Copies of this chain bind each other. A is one copy, B any other.
């Protein structure tokens, strides 16, 4: 990272330790601290309402014909922007060799650019605080949620003339402005995006950091408290926080790390998934009307368009397509203590838009409405166990939104549910495996192991201090 003199001495002082255990200790200290040095947690709701009042956005559904700059391409029916930028809505044809659904067609969002999701960190009173932003996204039911310091597409941050638009971006693009605590490419929703990944970064700032409107400093413990509330901490924040270098304190596990990796490799190898992009107007089972593109059975999701009007002076309005899932999702880890050590049951999930076949998801990740019509033997494993869970077993529950810049009212109940040997055996069905939070924390340093929903639950586990 240095841009130093031409001939530095290659002596021992040039060497750095490979890893620095004090970082994990400082992250843990921040997670334990629920009183912030800057904004008190009890003052947060008022601060957020203040930001909401300052912006006053309005989002309305519009017919596709009123989209400005967006149109259905003649040859393919793909929904594209005339600039060639942003994203496109295309079709996907997936064939898989396992599961109740072995072949399907669906619309999919293609957005090849890698964006940056970055959180700036800084110590106040000896505790790491994280710079969070109150940000409006048109797909959020409550519009304003807490986002990372920076959410920027590559066009945003590489084009010099737009650079000034993204506050704090220089900490994430210019070496020397901070110390990197985490930096990894992670997948986004494989059911709705075609091979999309974003760069998840946490950077500890060097020197003073100016505080702009819409931004606030919070400890991980404070963010953990907000993660107990519905629809406050947005998806981008959750995935970045999942990548924080929390201490990996589990010395024992049901499966050694090498065996867990081997199982994952076997899962990736055993699935034969083909996903081919096809024209949007040639998707069997899907139909386009003036306002929506729907599945003929009114399942899964629909493609819609919205117009955003901004009340504040600086920001103009715009129009864009969004994906609107039908029904509330249920996303849960079953949890068990094994030999006294907490474990969660991960599921090697096939999603059509994954770069590589499978990633590790929560035990349960479904929209129950989509399974209302399937045969009993095809009900997803563990789904009913979570839906019918005795409240005494629920260790964590909150409703969170998926990315509000692309998805409309895409909400899921996220849960951690304690289970026993009868409900979830140590030797689970094929495709499932017990892993410790420490094992997941070590995997999430690398891309494409944990899907975005598993990362949300890992963030909730690590930041809230929930005891499983």
- The residues of B that contact A12 with a CB separation of less than 8 Å are 252, 339-340
* Interface residue? A185 (CB, 8 A): yes
Question: A4: nearest residue on chain B (CB-CB)?
Answer: B427
Interface presence of A265 (CB below 8 A) = yes
- The 0/1 profile, CB within 8 Å of B marked 1, for residues 177-221 of chain A is 000111111000000000000010100000000000000000000
- Give the residues in chain B near A8, CB-CB below 8 Å: 426-427
* Residues in chain B near residue A182, CB distance under 8 A: 258
Kindly state whether residue A85 has any CB partner on chain B within 8 Å: no
Interface size class of A (residues with CB under 8 A): 35 or more
Interface string of A305-319 (1 = CB under 8 A from B): 000000000000000
> Are the C-beta atoms of B251 and A17 separated by less than 8 Å?
yes
Given the contacts A199-B269, A421-B10, A16 and B262 also touching, CB distance less than 8 Å? no
Residue interface bits A251-269, CB-to-B below 8 A is 1, else 0: 1111111110111011011
- A 11-33 binary contact with B (CB < 8 Å = 1; else 0): 11111111110000000000000
A380 at the interface (CB under 8 A from B): no
User: Within the complex, which residue of B18, B252, B269 is in contact with A114, where a contact is CB–CB below 8 Å?
Assistant: B269
Smallest distance from the beta carbon of A262 to chain B beta carbons, Å?
4
Tell me if A19 and B258 are in contact (CB < 8 A).
Answer: yes
Query: A155 to nearest B CB, angstroms?
Result: 11
For A262, the closest partner residue in chain B by CB is: B183
Report the minimum CB–CB distance from A126 to chain B (whole Å): 22
Q: Are A16's CB and B427's CB within 8 A?
A: no
Of B183, B272, B446, which contacts A266 at CB under 8 A?
B183
- Complexed CA–CA distance, A112 and B445 (Å): 27
Provided the pairs A10-B336, A355-B355, A445-B261 are in contact, do residues A185 and B17 lie with their beta carbons within 8 angstroms? no
Q: Which residues of B contact A426 (CB under 8 A)?
A: 2, 8, 10, 14
- Residues 210-257 of A at the B interface (beta carbon under 8 Å): 245, 250-257
List CB contacts (< 8 Å) of A84-133 with chain B. Answer: 112-114, 116
16 contacts between A and B (CB under 8 A): A1-B259, A1-B263, A7-B421, A8-B426, A16-B256, A17-B251, A17-B252, A18-B252, A18-B257, A18-B438, A19-B257, A112-B274, A180-B259, A183-B262, A183-B266, A185-B269
**Beyond A7-B421, A183-B258, A183-B265, 12 additional pairs, beta carbon < 8 A:** A10-B421, A14-B426, A15-B253, A15-B338, A18-B250, A19-B257, A112-B272, A112-B274, A113-B272, A154-B269, A180-B262, A184-B261
